[in-house]
Each structure stands twice: as C-alpha cells, then as structure tokens.
Amino acid sequence: MDVRFEPSGPLAGRLRPPSDKSMSHRAAMVGAMATAPVTVTGYLPAADTLSTLAAMETLGATVRRDGDRVQIAGVGLRGADARGTTIDVGNAGTLMRLLPGWLAGQEGREYRFDGDASIRRRPVDRIAAPLRAMGARIEATDDRLPPFVVRGTRLTGTTYELPVASAQVKSCVLLAGMMADGETTVVEPVASRDHTERMLARLGVPLRREGNAITVSRVDELAVGDLHVPGDLSSAAFPIVAGVLVPGSRVLIEDVSVNWTRAGILDVLDRMGATVVGERETRRDGLVPAGEPVSELEVTHGPLRGTTVEGEEIPLLIDELPLIALLACFAEGETVVRDAEELRHKESDRIATVVEGLRGLGAEIEATPDGFVVQGGTGIRGGTIHAHGDHRLAMLGAVAGLASREGVTVVGMEAAEVSYPGFGEHVAALQRG
C-alpha cells in the first residue's frame, strides 16, 4: 500500500501511543509460565504480539483477549508442551529469541520454530551459544538460521558474557536460568533494556543487578500477580520526532514508559537541542525494580545541532537510530552514529535501508560498517521511500514526509501495523490539532 505524506503545518494535541511491544511479548510469555491466571492490561494487539499469544496457546496456555486486556491461564514453569506442533513466530524476532530460553529447560520435550520469509533470514546463533553452554540442545538451519529445533534438557547455571549488548539474548539466558540448577549470571558489555527482569521481579523471581551483571537462580514457580503494559516509547518516538521537526508544533504524549534502559532517544534529543519535558528515570543498581516508570512528555519544535551517538548509548535506543538519522538531516553540522552493527540484523538491514531511503529523499548520508554519518542542516527534499516490510522504516518515511519540502510517498505503509496500529489516524489527529 502506497501512502503519501505531504508537508505539514504545526502538529498539536495529545495522544497515548500503542502499548509497549517489547513488554507485551514478555508479559504473554511470563503469563504462560505462571501457575495461576495472570491478567495483562494494556496489551498491544499488533501482528507480532498476537503471534506471541498464539505461540503460548500452542504450548498449552489458555488465552482470552478483550481489546487490550488479556487473561492467560498458564502451564507453569515446566508444563510447556507443543505436542509436535510447530511454533510459528510469524515476523516476531523477540518471540523467536526469548522463548527458546524457557523451552530449553523443559526436559524430554521437543519444539520446532519457524516463521515468515523475513524471520528465516534472522540468525539465532547468538542465543544458541549460551544455551548450549548450559546444556541445551539446539539444531538450526546452517547452524544459525530458522527453522530450528530446541530439545529440552536439564540445564546448569552459568556465567555468560555477552559479546554484544542485547536485551533479547540476555532475556533468553535469564529465562533459561530460572529453569537451571544453580545461579545464572549474564554480564553485558553495556546495559540494555531490562523489561524481562522487572516483569520477573513483579512475579516474585529474585534477581540482583551489580553493574552490568544480572543474576537469577532456579525457580520452582512464579508468584501470583497481574501485569500492566504502558505506552511504548519506541512508538512514541515517531510523533515526538515529528513534533520536534515540524515548525510550530506542540505534542503531548501520555502514559509512556520512561524506563532508563529505553529512554536513550530522550537523552540524544536533549543533546541535539530539542525540547522534551517530562519526568525521567535514572539508573539504579541492586535489586531489580518490580515495575515500569510512566510519565507524560511534552514536545515542541526547535532548532537542532549535530551530535555523536556511540558506545553505551546504542543499546538504549537501538530501535530509534533511524529517527536519529532523520533528525540529523535537520541539525546543523555533522551527526555520527557508530557501534550500531546490530541494526544490520533487524527486520531489514536498517543501516542499508535507512541510508538508501533517506538519500533518495535528498539527505547527505553515508553508511559505515557499524552506523552512518549525516551532514545536516538542509532538511529533506522529499520523494519516495520503500519500507521493505520494516515497520520502523515505514513510519520513518511518514515523519520525513511531514517535515519535508515536497512530501514523501511511502511504499508498503501497511508494515507500520506490526507495531503501531492506527499510526495514520494519530498523524491525522495531530495535523487537525
């Protein structure tokens, strides 16, 4: 589906972004692990997260959904059984990389994973390595790609140092750690999002954080508790950036998570000179918080300056880096993003597709092996951008169109529905003021 986004007048209004996609995935999985029913409010009803609910049903859980309210009657920590049925992850990379951690400890059971054409190009070797170190048996296509099979065994706790910071790999290992004998510690080179830890803590799992090391012990069962999923800052980032780029705009974002492991985009916006007002969370060590911080953010248009994004910041805004590239087009001076090679392993090679897409709209942007460099200050001319089936690239094109001089046509705009149902309606509402 091709959709045209013309240059916009001032954006105004308030909106509640879609519920957090990452938390929704995790809430469904944690709910299925519980013995007593778990009610999840604010669940995101998008394609990827519905794939996760379907996968939990495949494993024996009972799922009842009423809008964004989901009740899950789980199978307990050690009761997951696919009974020979393939677990179809659709296009959900989070599901594909987290779920094997839980299932690897289901002794004597076998699970086959598959998904769509895009998923079959996304590697699983980074989760296979630590799980095998704990005793898991995983057989993948070409030893690194889906379809793949997990054969449940008795696991042994380990200390695993992540070669690259990844919330998905960390979460996978921690879920396996709940099933394993002894303690399991994951050491990250830099901190990544911690939704899995907070959710497990909410349901009584003892975890501790010391610097960038997270430790969990074997657990017999999860405590009873309900979960709430707030608005997704990664989704909110698109109207936030639109408000920053379109002159005269004032946008209010309600009920959005400001978890410090996800709020890197706000820090970069501050550094670039944007005005985003609202409460923030600061990092804390020790026991993991049993819940998510929520805030309201107010965004207004203003001049921007270039910056450098690298190192420990990258895992805290990995999904927002395409928007950094767009912001950089309007910022005076040079913007450099490095240490972001992980972008090449998303729904598309986001370094290649973002650079190609924005260059086609008139940006002065060059790809590097682990990021990109933008010469800013000239904004965006306009033109056509292809989403390549990537939801974030589709919405990037839409925001570019609003801030462009000539407008942008997004080819494949339907991809946005994966994470942001109703994105077009929200844009239209902000344009109406």
Listing from the earlier edge strand, what are the strands of the sheet with 383-386?
Answer: 2-5, 408-411, 383-386
The mean pLDDT of the chain is: 93
The per-residue pLDDT for range 202-251, each reduced to its tens digit, is: 888 989 999 899 999 999 999 878 899 999 999 999 999 999 999 999 99
Q: State how far the Cα of 337 lies from the Cα of 325, in Å rounded to an integer.
A: 8
Distances (CA, A) of 8 to 293, 385, 410: 33, 18, 16
CATH classification of 21-228, choosing from 3.30.70.20, 3.65.10.10, 3.40.50.720, 3.40.50.620?
A: 3.65.10.10
Out of 48, 194, 232, 319, the active site residue is 319
181 catalytic residue (yes or no)? no
332 phi and psi angles, rounded to 5 deg: -70, 135
Cβ(418)–Cβ(48) under 8 Å? yes
Cβ(313)–Cβ(344) under 8 Å? no
Confidence band, pLDDT 50/70/90 cuts, at residue 302? confident
Q: Where are the beta strands (DSSP E) in 272-333?
A: 275-277, 286-287, 294-300, 308-309
**Does the domain formed by 2-19+231-432 have CATH 3.65.10.10?**
yes
Instruction: Please check whether the two domains, 2-19+231-432 and 21-228, share a CATH topology.
Output: yes
Residue 287 has pLDDT above 90, yes or no: no
Other C-beta atoms lying within 10 Å of the C-beta of residue 204? 14
Residue 340 has pLDDT above 90, yes or no: no
Q: State how far the Cα of 381 lies from the Cα of 361, in Å rounded to an integer.
A: 6
Confidence band, pLDDT 50/70/90 cuts, at residue 348? low
The per-residue pLDDT for range 100-122, each reduced to its tens digit, is: 999 999 999 999 999 999 899 99
75 phi and psi angles, rounded to 5 deg: -110, 5
The per-residue pLDDT for range 164-210, each reduced to its tens digit, is: 888 999 999 999 999 999 999 999 998 888 999 999 998 889 899 99
Could you state, in order of their start, the residue ranges of all structural domains in the chain? 2-19+231-432, 21-228
Residue 277 has pLDDT above 90, yes or no: yes
Higher pLDDT pick, 316 / 152: 152
Residue 7 has pLDDT above 90, yes or no: yes
For residue 118, the SS3 value is coil
Residue 423 has pLDDT above 70, yes or no: yes
Higher pLDDT pick, 78 / 419: 78
